[in-house]
Amino acid sequence: MTTSHVSPLTLDALALGALDRDREAEIHAHLAGCAECRGARDAAAALREHFTARVLPRGLPARRPPRWRWLVAPALSAALAVALLVVLWPRALPPAPNDLGIKGTASWQVFANRSGHTFAVHDGTELAAGDRIRFIVVPGGARYLLVASVDGRGAVTIYYPYEGSQSAPIDGERFELTGSIVLDAAPGPERIYALLSDEPITADAVRAPLRVVARGGAVAIRGTYTLPVPVRAQASLVFEKVAP
């Protein structure tokens, strides 16, 4: 059973049905005995209902190109759960063959926060300038993580550890990154890769194949699901960028 309080991001994942059965059962067991977490869950549910009834019918935003930037943000507090609105955002493209999948036993879940509501991100999801992206990673026994990206302008970025020279150590059965990726203006798609390994890998070893992808333009960014890097497991998502 979960002994500490459930994070707002995990409560969002529970509401979205994004947790596996074992994790969902664990969280429900914790909620049964924790009044504070039940209160956070119920408050978020009330706000979701208000959003669905009164805000969502006003329509979706217009388009314009954004770009990624990195913002190191503190982990969401339990109090912030009251302000979160959970809503599924429509996909712009059909899912890739390995949508949200990682080879082996590892996996990840990706969520975005837009103007106070949180939604699950899948391959091809439309994201907007100002959206904050966060990750929950199930390492599957891997001990190191590196997250990197290539965008429509050909820019290659190491997001985790931010601007680090090599992958960072992680531990536990589930690892929630405490930083957020925040969209800024840039044209075209962007693909982000999660690389899990048993030993550290250098950022330069990842930048080189990412630059090859960049030279292929938008078609290569959308179509290159994995990188030729010797790691235990990897996954990627491509985001299509629109305006808020």
71 and 126, same domain (yes or no): yes
Assess if residue 91 is contained within a domain.
yes
| Residues 30 and 123 both lie in one domain | no
pTM to 2 decimal places: 0.61
CATH number assigned to the domain comprising residue 190: 2.60.40.2550
The DSSP symbol for 214 reads H
Q: Does residue 229 belong to any structural domain of this protein?
A: yes
**Could you tell me the two tokens for 13?**
């994942």
Q: Which residues of the chain carry a pLDDT beneath 70? A: 1-3, 16-18, 46-105, 187, 243-244
Residue 2 domain flag: no
Structural domains counted in the chain? 2
C-alpha–C-alpha distance, residues 177 and 62, integer Å: 30
1 found inside a domain = no
Question: Which residue shows structure tokens 């299509």?
Answer: 240
From 135, 132, 211, select the one nearest 168 (Cα to Cα). Answer: 135
Is there a single domain that holds both residue 22 and residue 71? Answer: no
Cβ-based neighbours of 177, under 8 Å, separated by 6 or more: 134, 135, 136, 137, 147, 160
Same domain, 94 and 204: yes
Q: Do residue 211 and residue 157 come from a single domain?
A: yes
Q: Which amino acid is at 167?
A: S
Asked if residue 238 is part of any domain, the answer here is yes
pLDDT of residue 103: 45
Same domain (yes/no): 12, 83: no
Res 196: pLDDT: 94
User: Do 24 and 136 fall into the same domain?
Assistant: no
Decide the pairing of beta strands 117-120 and 132-138: unpaired
Write out the residue range of the structural domain in which residue 43 sits: 8-58
Nearest in space to 225 (alpha carbons), one of 217, 214, 234: 234
What residues pair up with 125 in beta bridges, in sequence order?
91
| Helices 35-50, 8-16: inter-axial angle, 10-degree rounding | 60
- Whether 167 and 122 share a structural domain: yes
pLDDT at residue 77, as a whole number: 31
